[in-house]
Chain A
Amino acid sequence: MGRIVKTASLMLTAMLLAAGVQAATREENSAEPIIGQEDAVVTDAPNVPPPIKRDHATKVVIHLEIKEVEGRLADGVSYMFWTFGGKVPGKFMRVREGDLVEMHLDNHPDNKNPHNIDLHAVNGPGGGAAASLTAPGHSSVFSFKALNPGLYVYHCATAPVAMHVGNGMYGLILVEPKGGYPSVDHEYYVMQSDFYTKGANGEQGLQPFSMQKAIDEKPDYIVFNGAVGSTTGDKALTANTGETVRLYVGVGGPNVTSSFHVIGQIFDNVYAEGNTSAIMHNVQTTFIPAGGAAITEFKASVPGTFILVDHSLTRAFNRGALAQFKVSGPEDKVVYSGKMSDEVYLPEGSGIRVAEGVAKPLPAAKNRAERIKIGESIYANNCQACHQATGEGIPDAFPPLANSDYLNADKARAIKTITGGLEGKLMVNGKSFNSVMPAWELSDEEIANVMTYLYGNWGNSDVEITPADVKANRVARAE
């Protein structure tokens, strides 16, 4: 008897694993009776409505207000976004399979355009679009029964659909399976999309939609959650070490797909395409089609900042598809040691930063003010990546140059540091550092300029460094 129970239990476990999450069939959901009524909880990215605890289907009323609003696409760049709910991406909606969803699409009277909605969670013509074309100042209502569980994209499908989607009209609707998803500590909503602006990437001001670039599929911006830097710094996603995280990730397009990856994390589980039947384990990068979505889960094992990217990497680094996930808590040196070695690899000859044959002499600075001006761009190109634009450096990694006792105490030593490189333990402003700076292959003039810039900023000693000072203190390079 005991053996049979054990066997049955094993079989059940195997079935559950194979079956993914506990979900019903389309026929069962169609037949499930509707008990009661409630208003949907909807959220703006990166937030996700709470899990549904109901054990029955109900009528869920959703009001979605369409607004055409000017917003930030990147620093200094604004755009007329067309939105489901006032932001890009649109509101995250969460219902349970079997629910009867009554969708109210409210087109704000100040909008210029008619809009509609195509929910990929709908079985019906146009995914609801056929029933929801709505003029400004009007409201359309239709309902659908959520027959298929999973994570679905919704979008505007008014012609020209690529422009409506290109202006930000998409979001995610989660049709939660009956059994729900396993409990996690954090759930987040992330959506990638592409934008086509009349001006090139970074061109300032209000940018109109570029029809030609959209047709040519040449986006100027590829971003997470509607803007460059939407989810970085103070707005980064967060968790503590040891916590579990679920990301609901969609791609709005209109055109670009995503090789979705979190740098420094491995997805323990991926529900590819938001499906409920075949959960994949141990995934590095998951493909998400335009108009598609995936659920990814992982455990935050160690602290640090983890970067969400489209691993088609120029999209991440040149067009904006970067977001941050910050994990705080104690280190786990077994899982990840951090940097263990003090040793330095210094190759023979000059550093790889030397680009052969493209040296372009800059005009010599005539005075201290010119030095500071030229020095600023030298700093931006050579120093800023580590020491930061503010000169504050990065704690435990790169020492500060702002108010720096190390810098101000000895300018000859500073010249030697730049020309000869530095390794090993170092105290700056009372903090200990242990890292490496390479020797910089810069001319006397360039070093004089960048150092005068350093000394002339951030509360430093204001001394001027001349090319003669640099020449006198330069560390000769081994040839």
Chain B
Amino acid sequence: MGSAVRRMLNLVAAITGSLFPVFAANAQTDQAWPLISAGAYVAFFSPSSSKGKVPQSKPIVVKAFAMARNQVTNTDFLRFVDQHPEWRKTEVKAIFAERSYLQQWPSDLSFGAVGLVQNPVTNVSYFAAEAYCEAIDARLPSTDEWEYALADAGRNQKSVAQTALNWLAEPNHASLADVGTATPNFYGVSGLVGLIWEWTSDFDSFVTSTELRATDGKDSAQFCGNGGTGVKDTADYPAFMRFSMRASLKANYTLSNLGFRCVRDL
């Protein structure tokens, strides 16, 4: 392929979304770290931090990145805490993780039943997730990156929403399902919805804090008065729920249905 053609196609991909994910063939992407090609998408909420004010419905350009196909598992995380004792459940500092950190693990270096080998790790704080990703030369996805990967260039969005709603209608099971069992989306990413919630790097920047509300008089997704204004699609209930969930979190929180996956820059 000539470089001029490649440039043009890259430009097309950047504008229309990632219809041709094969261009940036890169050693860093493979089946475990599929490429999320560059593109534009319209955020559900625009960030309300001062640096990130973006008018509604203006597309945000997302650069190409690699995203882990699956969430981080108990097995993955056990290897991490083995090598990084400061993140073991009895060692972790209270400011980095609340008491329920890894509470389902019977001890520092065991996650218990063999059946949990491929379960996503949950009850991990933002700090722990961030440290894990750093340790494997990766990082947490931004909310835009995560949502962009889920948007899948517009493919199958009805079924994505239904998967999320079905998950919410299910009672909690004794254990979570294994990662990677859901059919991957077009990029090759599995189970973004339907298994657990996932941390994003800027989870706390989409909803104004109490302090911000006091100064700019603007409420947001925290409650219904403004929950329905200024969003891309008021009928996308699962998206509301993801943003409500993120808004309810603090970086040291550990929840039994909240885990993470990492991404890498290309």
| Chain A residues within CB distance 8 Å of chain B | 68-70, 79-80, 109-110, 112-114, 116, 118, 125-126, 129-131, 133-138, 157-163, 206-209, 211, 215
Tell me, yes or no, whether B175 is within 8 Å of chain A by CB.
Answer: no
- Known contacts A126-B225, A161-B227; is A110 also within 8 Å of B256 by CB? yes
Tell me, yes or no, whether B168 is within 8 Å of chain A by CB.
Answer: yes
Are A159 and B244 in contact, with the CB atoms below 8 A? yes
Tell me, yes or no, whether B216 is within 8 Å of chain A by CB.
Answer: no
Given the complex, which residues of A lie within 8 Å of B223, measured CB to CB?
116, 118, 126, 129-130, 133, 157-159, 161
Chain B: minimal CB distance from A200 (Å): 16
Q: Which one of B171, B210, B213, B241 lies within 8 Å of A80 (CB-CB)? A: B171
Given the complex, which residues of A lie within 8 Å of B170, measured CB to CB?
80, 206
Tell me, yes or no, whether B23 is within 8 Å of chain A by CB.
Answer: no
A336 to B228, CA, bound (A): 52
Chain A: minimal CB distance from B235 (Å): 5
Tell me, yes or no, whether B248 is within 8 Å of chain A by CB.
Answer: yes
Chain A: minimal CB distance from B180 (Å): 21
A sample of 23 cross-chain residue pairs with beta-carbon separation below 8 angstroms, ordered by A number, consists of: A68-B171, A80-B168, A109-B100, A109-B255, A112-B168, A112-B257, A114-B247, A118-B224, A126-B219, A129-B222, A129-B223, A133-B222, A137-B255, A138-B253, A158-B223, A159-B223, A159-B228, A161-B224, A163-B240, A207-B169, A209-B168, A211-B161, A215-B235
Q: Bin the interface of chain B by size.
A: 35 or more
A397 to B235, CA, bound (A): 52
Tell me, yes or no, whether B237 is within 8 Å of chain A by CB.
Answer: yes
Are A211 and B100 in contact, with the CB atoms below 8 A? no
Q: Which one of B224, B235, B241 lies within 8 Å of A113 (CB-CB)? A: B241
Tell me, yes or no, whether B165 is within 8 Å of chain A by CB.
Answer: yes
A157 to B248, CA, bound (A): 13
Q: Mark B215-250, 1 if CB is under 8 A from A, else 0.
A: 000010111110110000001010011011101111
A110 to B255, CA, bound (A): 9
Are A136 and B168 in contact, with the CB atoms below 8 A? no
Are B166 and A160 in contact, with the CB atoms below 8 A? no
Given the complex, which residues of A lie within 8 Å of B255, measured CB to CB?
109, 135-137
Chain B: minimal CB distance from A144 (Å): 15
Given the complex, which residues of B lie within 8 Å of A211, measured CB to CB?
161, 165, 235, 237
- Known contacts A130-B210, A137-B255; is A114 also within 8 Å of B166 by CB? no
Task: Output the nearest chain A residue to B248 by Cβ-Cβ distance.
Answer: A114
| Chain B residues within CB distance 8 Å of chain A | 100, 161, 165-172, 197, 210, 213, 219, 221-225, 227-228, 235, 237, 240-241, 243-245, 247-250, 253-257
A69 to B197, CA, bound (A): 19
- Known contacts A135-B255, A137-B100; is A209 also within 8 Å of B169 by CB? yes
Are B241 and A160 in contact, with the CB atoms below 8 A? yes
Given the complex, which residues of A lie within 8 Å of B243, measured CB to CB?
159
Q: Which one of A110, A133, A206 lies within 8 Å of B247 (CB-CB)? A: A133
- Known contacts A126-B223, A159-B243, A208-B166; is A70 also within 8 Å of B171 by CB? yes
Seed contacts A113-B244, A157-B227; 4 additional CB < 8 Å A-B pairs: A80-B170, A113-B241, A130-B223, A161-B223
Q: Among B172, B223, B253, find the residue whose CB has the most chain A CB atoms closer than 10 A.
A: B223
A209 to B170, CA, bound (A): 10
A206 to B241, CA, bound (A): 21
Task: Output the nearest chain B residue to A166 by Cβ-Cβ distance.
Answer: B237
A186 to B166, CA, bound (A): 41
A134 to B249, CA, bound (A): 8
Q: Which one of B172, B225, B253 lies within 8 Å of A135 (CB-CB)? A: B253
Given the complex, which residues of B lie within 8 Å of A131, measured CB to CB?
210
Task: Output the nearest chain B residue to A214 by Cβ-Cβ distance.
Answer: B237
Given the complex, which residues of A lie within 8 Å of B240, measured CB to CB?
159-160, 163
Chain A: minimal CB distance from B132 (Å): 20
Task: Output the nearest chain A residue to B224 by Cβ-Cβ distance.
Answer: A161
Chain A: minimal CB distance from B248 (Å): 3
Chain A: minimal CB distance from B239 (Å): 9
Are A208 and B210 in contact, with the CB atoms below 8 A? no
Are B100 and A110 in contact, with the CB atoms below 8 A? no
Q: Among B224, B237, B245, find the residue whose CB has the most chain A CB atoms closer than 10 A.
A: B224
Task: Output the nearest chain B residue to A159 by Cβ-Cβ distance.
Answer: B227
Are A113 and B100 in contact, with the CB atoms below 8 A? no
Given the complex, which residues of B lie within 8 Å of A135, measured CB to CB?
245, 248-250, 253, 255
Are B222 and A130 in contact, with the CB atoms below 8 A? yes
Given the complex, which residues of B lie within 8 Å of A134, measured CB to CB?
248
Given the complex, which residues of A lie within 8 Å of B249, measured CB to CB?
114, 135
Given the complex, which residues of A lie within 8 Å of B213, measured CB to CB?
125, 130
Task: Output the nearest chain A residue to B223 by Cβ-Cβ distance.
Answer: A129
Given the complex, which residues of A lie within 8 Å of B172, measured CB to CB?
110, 112
